[in-house]
Amino acid sequence: MNYPVNTSLQLRAVLRALRQSRNLSQAEVGQLLGVNQKRVAHIENAPGVTSFDQISRLINVLGGRVLIETSEPQPALTAGTGKKRSRRRPAATPQGNW
């Protein structure tokens, strides 16, 4: 199942629902993460001020994964370089003596 998230408030609801769907308490999730229940509660209540690493670890422990989805076409990449190919024409060569 997919859970689109655009705000930290939505992430808060998704994290809590994901944990509850696994029938896990905050204390049990804390044991899996190596943190206490209070830390899990803080992550769930304030994901906007929690590091990406901690959120991704929590999601992983709950059986999920982080996925970034774009709605725009991806720019063409130059093979092997990871750099965008320019779609602009090269500037005209200036005339005159150099």
Q: With cut-offs at 50, 70 and 90, classify the pLDDT of residue 4.
A: confident
Per-residue 3-state assignment (H helix, E strand, C coil) for the chain:
CCCCCCCHHHHHHHHHHHHHHCCCCHHHHHHHHCCCHHHHHHHHHCHHHCCHHHHHHHHHHCCCCCCCCCCCCCCCECCCCCCECCCCCCCCCCCCCC
Q: Which domains does the chain have, with CATH numbers?
A: 8-61 (1.10.260)
- What does pLDDT average to over the chain? 85
Residues 68, 52: Cα–Cα separation, whole Å: 13
Query: How many other C-beta atoms lie within 10 A of the C-beta of residue 38?
Result: 11
Query: What amino acid occupies position 38?
Result: K
Question: Higher pLDDT residue, 52 or 89?
Answer: 52
Predicted pLDDT of residue 69: 87
Of residues 16 and 70, the one with the higher pLDDT is 16
Q: Is the pLDDT reported for residue 98 higher than 50?
A: no
For range 44-67, the mean pLDDT? 95
Query: Which of 67 and 78 is assigned the larger pLDDT?
Result: 67
